[in-house]
Amino acid sequence: MNKIFLIIQREFLNRVQKKSFLIATILLPLIFPTIIAIMVYAAKEQEEGANSEVIHFVDESGLFNPEDIKRFELKRFNGNIEDAKTAFSNSDDFGLLHIPKINLSHPSGVTLYTKINPSPNDINDLESKIESQIKEAKMIKFNIDQRILDSLKTDISIRSINLSKSGQEKSSDSKVLFGIGMIGGILIYIFIFVYGAQIMQGVIEEKTSKVVEVIVSSVRPFQLMLGKILGLASVGLLQFLIWIVLITSVSSIVLGYFGFDMPQQEMMDQMATQPGYNSDFMDVMQTVNEMPVFFIVSSFIFYFLGGYLLYGALFAAVGSAVDSPAEAQQFIFPITIPMLISYFALFTFILDNPHSTISIWLSIIPFTSPIAMMGRIGFGVPPIQLVASIVCLIGGFVFTTWVASRIYRIGILMHGSKVSYKVLVKWFMMKS
C-alpha cells in the first residue's frame, strides 16, 4: 500500500512539475473565454462596421416595402426583370430579388439571384421580411385594424416549476439544465481522452525505456498500474479544481466589470425594448440559485473519476501491449466507440429527452454512463436509476481494472512481439 502511494506521488510530481501542466492549467481557462470573446467581438464589429451590401429588387406584386434589413440595403429597380438581370450582372452588388405577382393565399415564385451563394442566415432574413409584409398585406385585405394587429403580438416564455410531493415549488429553466448537462458531458469526454492518452503514453515510455523491469522487481505490476492511474487522477482533479477557481474568479471579475461599466440608460433601454429580458434573466438566476449545486458537482466528480478509472485501466492495458503509440491505434479504436456513442447520444437525444428509455439505459451502462448521466443529472434522476448507475459504474471499473491488470502484467515484459486480440486473450487467460 505504501508503495502504491510512492508511485502515486511520483506520477503526480512528474506531471505537475512540468511546464506544460502549468501552461495548460492556467492558460486554458483563460484562452477559451478569450477566443470566444474575440470572436464575438469581431463578429459584432463586422456586423456594425461592414458596408451593407446592396440587393436590388423588382417587385411586380406591389407589396414589398423597401426597408433595409440588417446588412442589406434594398434598392428598388424600376423596370422588368430581364433588364434588372442584365444590370445586376454588370454590377458589384450582392443580389437581385425578384418578387413576381403573387397570389396572397399561396405566395410562390420569389427568387433571389446572387453571384456567390447566400448564407442560410441571409435567406432567412429575407424570407421573414417578405413573410411579415405579406402577412400585413393579408391583414389589411381582411380589414384588420393596425391596433388590433399590434395587440396580437405576444411574446411568451414558459416558466416551468417542479412541484415536489412535499409541495415545494422549484423553478427550472430547461436551457440552464441543458447547458449544465452539455458542459458536464463534454468535460468528462475530454478528460477521459486526454488523461487516458497520458496513462497509455506513460506505460509505453516505461516499457520502451525498459525501466519497468526494475520497477516490477520492487512492486507488483498491479501496484504500478494502479499507482499510475491514481497518480494521474489526482493531477486531473487538481487541474479541475484550479480551473473551477480560475473560471469563477475570472468570470465574476468580467461580469462585475461589464455590469459596472454598462451605462444605466442603455441598460434601461435594452430592458424596455425587450420585455422578456428581465424575467428571463431572473428565471435563469433563480434556476441556478435553486439548483442543488453540491449534488451536481459531486455527481460530476464521481462520474469523472468513475469514467476515468474505467477507461484509464483499458488505456493502461493497451499501452502495456504495444511498443509505440502508432501500434496502439488498432486497440484504441474499440475503446473509443462507447465514448463516441455516448457523446453523440448526449447531443442527439439525451439532452432533448433525458427521461426516454434509451437515455436511461445509456446512463446506467457503465461504459456510457459517465457522459450520459451528466446529460441527465440536472433534469432530476429517480434515485433508483442513480443508484443503479453508480453501482454499475463502480462494478465496471473494478471489472476493467481486473481485466486490464491481467493483460498489463504480461504485456509490460513483452518486447517486439506482434500483438493481436488473440494474443491479448491469451495473456488474459495466462496463469501468473
Residues in touch with other proteins (CB under 8 A)? 3, 6-7, 10, 14, 205-206, 209-219, 413, 415, 426, 430-432
CA pair distance 141, 107, nearest whole angstrom: 15
In the complex, least distance from residue 311 CB atom to other proteins, rounded to whole angstroms = 25
In the complex, least distance from residue 45 CB atom to other proteins, rounded to whole angstroms = 45
In the complex, least distance from residue 415 CB atom to other proteins, rounded to whole angstroms = 8
Measured from the CB atom, the residue of 14 and 385 that comes closer to other proteins is: 14
Measured from the CB atom, the residue of 34 and 417 that comes closer to other proteins is: 417
CA pair distance 398, 403, nearest whole angstrom: 9
Contact 173, 284 (CB under 8 A): yes
Is residue 174 packed enough to be buried (19+ CB in 10 Å), middle (13-18) or exposed (0-12)?
A: middle
Measured from the CB atom, the residue of 264 and 432 that comes closer to other proteins is: 432
In the complex, least distance from residue 6 CB atom to other proteins, rounded to whole angstroms = 6
3-state SS assignment for residue 55 = strand
Half-sphere exposure of 276 (CA within 13 A, CB side): 8
Measured from the CB atom, the residue of 11 and 122 that comes closer to other proteins is: 11
CA pair distance 49, 30, nearest whole angstrom: 28
In the complex, least distance from residue 382 CB atom to other proteins, rounded to whole angstroms = 47
3-state SS of 47-106?
HHHCCCEEEEEEECCCCCCCCCECCEEEEECCCCHHHHHHHHHCCCCCEEEEECCCCCCC
In the complex, least distance from residue 413 CB atom to other proteins, rounded to whole angstroms = 7
Q: Which parts of 105-210 are beta strand (E)? A: 111-114, 160-163, 169-172
CA pair distance 373, 80, nearest whole angstrom: 61
3-state SS assignment for residue 73 = strand
Measured from the CB atom, the residue of 35 and 425 that comes closer to other proteins is: 425
Measured from the CB atom, the residue of 115 and 210 that comes closer to other proteins is: 210
Single-letter amino acid, residue 249 = S
CA pair distance 357, 351, nearest whole angstrom: 13
**Sole residue written with cell 443503479:** 388
In the complex, least distance from residue 188 CB atom to other proteins, rounded to whole angstroms = 29
Measured from the CB atom, the residue of 105 and 432 that comes closer to other proteins is: 432
Summarize the chain as % helix, strand, coil (round to 5): 70, 5, 25
- Cα end-to-end distance, the chain, whole Å: 21
In the complex, least distance from residue 207 CB atom to other proteins, rounded to whole angstroms = 9
Measured from the CB atom, the residue of 202 and 370 that comes closer to other proteins is: 202
Contact 423, 318 (CB under 8 A): no
